[in-house]
Structure 1
Amino acid sequence: MTEVRHKQIRFWSGVAFLLAVITGLIVGGVKIQEYLQDAQRAPVQVVDFSGDFSHVNVTRLERLIRQSQPGSFFALDVNEVYKLVEAQPWVYRASVRKQWPNTLKIYLVEQQPVAQWNDDFLLNPYGETFNASADDLGLPKLFGPGGSEKTALEGYNAMQSLLATTAMPIAEMSLSERFAWQIQLENGIELNLGRQEFIDRLQRFIDVYPLLAKQPKAVKYVDLRYDTGLAVGWQEAEDEKS
């Protein structure tokens, strides 16, 4: 009986010990979780922005990050911060990572605006639209049907390259539903280039412009939608005064 009782005592002692261990692990886990969630014990003290940017308001962005992730360094969700940062209008790409013990490091690649699109959006060099304001940048204005952003930008770049040596940059360009090209130069001259061979037609204008510039009246528009030749509209005296 004594041996049986000793076995029972050892068994229940083992059970009690196991329960104590399990209880300790549970309590310890809860305490650790509470500690990790406690922003005062492990706060994100530094949000470090890097990269080449001038339009991104990092002060405002840091405030948004702290409002959306008010917990501790350990509880902060890097993926959520990444989504928030890349949703900002002027951010093209971003990377986000934690750095022990209290820093959130964010690298930003800023959007590079090259043109205004339909008076609603900006275009980056890849023909992608983004919703931001750049009225003070003096960007050219491009217009066209939805989905034609890349085509319009490629056409603009090709024509602008051709005009680079003429001191007549493009101020505004329109691409119609039928993909006919019209441009207005910064000197006010309007060019109707039509749908086909618009680069060759623009070169024709460049070749003949020195002769047009010698005329007593200033050029108002030039219609180049002809296989050969062109049609010229001249400014009247009232137009020149205005």
Structure 2
Amino acid sequence: MQVLTREQARLAAGLVFLLSVIGSLVYGALVVRDWLKDEQRMPVQVVDFSGDFAHVNVARLERLIRQSQPGSFFELDVNEVFVLVEAQPWVYRASVRKQWPNKLKIYLVEQQPVAQWNDDMLLNPYGDTFEASADELALPKLFGPGGSEKTALEGYNAMKSLLATSSMAIAELSLSERFAWQMQLTNGIELNLGRQEFIDRLQRFIDVFPLLTKEEKPVRYVDLRYDTGFAVGWQDDDNKQS
């Protein structure tokens, strides 16, 4: 049997003490980790939404967040919440951050619809499409080939500004595959503006419209695809009565 020297005994005792300290630290860290992960001890009690919004259903959104992040305040992944929030149809931009000790703060920038696009999407002021229901909103209808959203919106804004000088407004605006413009006004008149100089042609219609209203029959359409003049289609008596 080997007898330890005094120096060896001190080293052995020190090693045992060191291992016990390390073990205690590891055990303590595991206990703290489990405690922090315990949703009952450190729950996210408040989801605070701010911003100017009218269409975002924040109650539904909060449920989605809590379902996707069921853990404690410390386990909640801000990046995942951010992705989830910005994926919602009416959310244009969002910022997400935690606030000690139990709050999640979310700032929302809502989509601002300015027109319907091809009857199945909405357009925001930047010409970006998003899927949402806006049946309750009286939005103009824009139509065009895929990828022409910004062109169509720019044309609509230019023609809307020009018509603001009159009592007329745009109900529908179509851009063909060849980028020719057709318009239906809220008074039912259809305008064929063609591809080129459509702003000048619309101005020509605005200038002559007071004269057209003096005719006995109401105007059905005006074809402005001429260098100097235009062609007018009149409603017949049957159409007038209907």
> What TM-score results when the alignment is normalised by the length of structure 2?
0.98
**Counterpart of 1:153?**
153
Corresponding residue of 2:175? 175
- Return the letter of the residue paired with 1:164: A
Q: CA deviation at 1:5?
A: 1.2
For 2:115 and 2:6, locate their aligned partners in 1 and report how far apart those are by CA, in whole Å: 88
Q: Does 1:104 align with 2:77?
A: no
C-alpha displacement of 1:154: 0.2
The 3-state SS of whatever aligns with 1:136 is coil
Secondary structure at the residue paired with 2:105?
Answer: strand
Q: Which AA in structure 2 matches 1:226?
A: Y
Counterpart CA distance in 1 for 2:39 and 2:4 is 54
- What does 1:131-210 align with in structure 2 at a 5 Å threshold? 131-210=131-210
Q: Which range moves more in the overlay, 27-36 or 78-87? A: 27-36
Unaligned runs of 5+ in 2: none
* Equivalent residue number for residue 237 of structure 2: 237
- TM-fit CA distance, 1:22: 1.4
Amino acid at match of 1:84: L
Query: 1:4 Cα deviation (Å)?
Result: 6.2
Amino acid at match of 2:119: D
Tell me the alpha carbon deviations over residues 3-33 of structure 1, each in whole angstroms, 9 at most, x when there is no partner.
9611111111111111111111211111111
Q: Please name the residue that 1:122 is paired with.
A: 122
Structure 1 match to 2:218: 218
Q: Deviation per CA, 1:37-79: give whole Å up to 9, x if none.
A: 1000000000000000000000000000000000000100000
Greater mean alpha carbon deviation, residues 15-24 or residues 3-12: 3-12
Once residues 165 and 207 of structure 1 are traced to their aligned partners in structure 2, the CA distance between those partners, rounded to angstroms, is 11
Percent of residue pairs identical: 76
1:81 corresponds to 2:67: no
Deviates more, 1:115-124 or 1:14-23: 14-23
TM-score computed with the length of structure 1 as normaliser: 0.98
2:173 counterpart SS class: strand
- The CA deviation string for residues 197-235 of structure 1, in whole angstroms up to 9 with x for no partner, is 000000000000000010000000000000010000000
- Following TM superposition, the consecutive aligned residue runs of length 4 or more in structure 1 with deviations greater than 6 angstroms are none
Distance 1:237 1:5 in 2: 123
Deviations 1:59-106 (A, max 9, x none): 000000000000000100000000000000000000000000000000
Structure 1, gaps ≥5 residues long: none
| One-letter amino acid of the structure 1 residue matched with residue 154 of structure 2 | E
Counterpart Cα distance in 2 of 1:234 and 1:199: 23
1:20-59 correspondence runs (5 A): 20-59=20-59
Helix, strand or coil: the match of 1:55?
Answer: coil
Which amino acid in structure 2 is aligned with residue 91 of structure 1?
A: V
Q: Which amino acid aligns with 1:127?
A: G
How far residue 118 of structure 1 moved from its aligned partner, in angstroms, is: 0.4
Distance 1:182 1:136 in 2: 25
C-alpha distance in 1 between matches for 2:143 and 2:69: 40
SS of the residue corresponding to residue 136 of structure 2 reads helix
Q: How does 1:61-80 map to 2 (within 5 A)?
A: 61-80=61-80
Which range moves more in the overlay, 146-155 or 28-37? Answer: 28-37
1:163 Cα offset (Å)? 0.3
Deviation at 1:110, TM superposition (A): 0.3
